[in-house]
Amino acid sequence: MKNFILFFSLFIFSCSEETIFFENSYVIENINIIDPIDGLSSNKTVVITKNKITEIFNSNEIKISKKNKIFDGESKFLIPGLWDTHVHFAYQTELADSMMDLFLLHGITSLRDTGGPFDFVNSYKQNSLENPKTKARLKIAGPLIDGKFNVYDGSDHTHPVLSIRNVDDDELRKNVEMLIENKVDFLKAYEMLSPSQFKLLTELAKKNNLKLTGHVPLSINVEIASSSGLNSIEHFRNIELSMTKMTNNLLKERKAILKNKSALRGASLRSLLHNKQRMRSIYNLDSSKIKNVVDILAKNDTWQIPTLKLYKNFASKSYKSKEYDSYLNLLPKNIGENWRKTIRQLEAKEDKERMDFTKWQSSMVKYMHKKGITFMAGTDTPIGFLVPGLSLHQEIEELTNSGLTNLEALKAATINPSKYFNLHDSLGRIKPNYIADLIILNQNPLIDIRNTRKIRAVIKNGFFMNRKYLDSIKN
């Protein structure tokens, strides 16, 4: 009713004055809207007031006063701001200060940090809250919640401090309650949790109405993890162990190895288990068990963040290409050179086993999608030489290569993450009363998903950043 009254008053005004003036607003005219639910709507006028979309009209039905700030969107396309739902600010601390700008440069207006020391990642969250127009929205889990044999313990540069060690249930309860008191946005389970620790973690998450994401702990199977309350799974990690002909034997083997009689560090212990079981599982898959696992995931509404580009990068060694080398120019010069130095030292030959694993991942996306499982787009940047911001566009492309339509891939990077955090009534769509986190593209991503990279402007919380402004961020 309110919108009708506003429109009627504007209509009367337009009849008498010939043009419509929107006070304290700016207008995008003649733009093609791509809403992740409704799809493509052509030749629209979008009115943005403060930080919200306030009105959407057919452009040929109204005439805007030249007193308004008007952007001509002819032949351009408007999509919601994107989410990267798997990032790590703390993985490379010297890069962290540049990451927010890199995300914004690529139209990523919302983020989910999936593991790092609470004080460190929270500082970026607070900076985001204080600067809503120039920093991406940031949701944080705090540290990975791991077991006695902690993986990301800072023992080497590939395993910096991202997690907290929990020797027993009592310590886990204490640490998780500390995180909850500090108002984390969700929790993340990690691989070395014992069955009792994982059970306790799910109970604490449910009690406090928090989403629980993570890797399936190696001490249990994915069916138990999903049914117990793991709301989403990152990387498909360890689900293949429940899809093989030897599932029960593999679990028995893992439990014996997890006793860690050789006193290995957590990272080494995990690598031992992965190396021993991952490809054995992939090469001995059981179609009936695959169906059973996926049916359980669907029944429990366990979402997936597959991070396809991460594994494909490692498998194909695409970071060795000239094209990939050019991407490193987006990074601060010293970091780009350090990455180049590391990459030069790595073998260039394609890894067959890893390629087989990525093919399985892709097939799982296609199969799960058909079964109605919900996906979110996430990358794990900056792990795996994935450039913050750019990597999300690469991940969206991989999702389409794995069976999602272009619109469905956009949905995985817009409205689905908003729904995950119960923000779907205000963020992730192009509708009146939604927050104006938007991207103007030069070409249609429904024709070619790579067109998400062809950014003309980014709007964050109503703040319009044209191409010149975005290029100044990079410089």
Q: Mark whether 364 and 458 lie in a shared domain.
A: no
Q: Which domain holds residue 60?
A: 2-80+430-474
Q: Mark whether 313 and 445 lie in a shared domain.
A: no
> What is the CB-side half-sphere exposure of residue 80 using CA atoms within 13 A?
32
Residue 401's contacts (CB-CB under 8 Å, 6 or more residues apart) are 308, 362
Q: Is 358 exposed, middle or buried (0-12, 13-18, 19+ CB in 10 A)?
A: buried
CATH number of the CATH domain containing 115: 3.20.20.140
Q: Mark whether 268 and 303 lie in a shared domain.
A: yes
Asked if 415 contacts 423 with a C-beta cutoff of 8 angstroms, the reply is no
Per-residue pLDDT tens for 289-329? 999 999 999 999 999 999 999 999 999 999 999 999 999 99
Collapsed DSSP state (helix, strand, coil) of residue 31: strand
Neighbour order of strands in the sheet with 108-113: 82-87, 108-113, 137-140
Residue at which a domain ends, from 376, 396, 420:
420
H/E stretch holding 460:
strand 455-460
Which pLDDT belongs to residue 14?
Answer: 42
CATH number of the CATH domain containing 22: 2.30.40.10
Residue 283's contacts (CB-CB under 8 Å, 6 or more residues apart) are 356
Q: How far apart are CA 48 and CA 50, in angstroms?
A: 7
Q: Mark whether 36 and 120 lie in a shared domain.
A: no
Residue 158's contacts (CB-CB under 8 Å, 6 or more residues apart) are 267
| Structure token pair of residue 359 | 């093919």
Confidence band of 475 (pLDDT split at 50, 70, 90): low
Q: Mark whether 338 and 296 lie in a shared domain.
A: yes
Paired with 159 in beta bridges are 156
Which pLDDT belongs to residue 13?
Answer: 42
413 domain residue, yes or no: yes
Inter-CA distances, 411 with 41, 42, 80, 303, 373, Å: 16, 19, 9, 13, 13
Q: Mark whether 68 and 89 lie in a shared domain.
A: no
Q: Mark whether 268 and 376 lie in a shared domain.
A: yes
Per-residue pLDDT tens for 402-436? 999 999 999 999 999 999 999 999 999 999 999 99
425 domain residue, yes or no: no
Paired with 49 in beta bridges are 25, 52
Residues across the chain: 475
Q: Mark whether 94 and 169 lie in a shared domain.
A: yes
Count of domains observed in the chain: 2
Q: Mark whether 248 and 280 lie in a shared domain.
A: yes
Q: Mark whether 270 and 219 lie in a shared domain.
A: yes
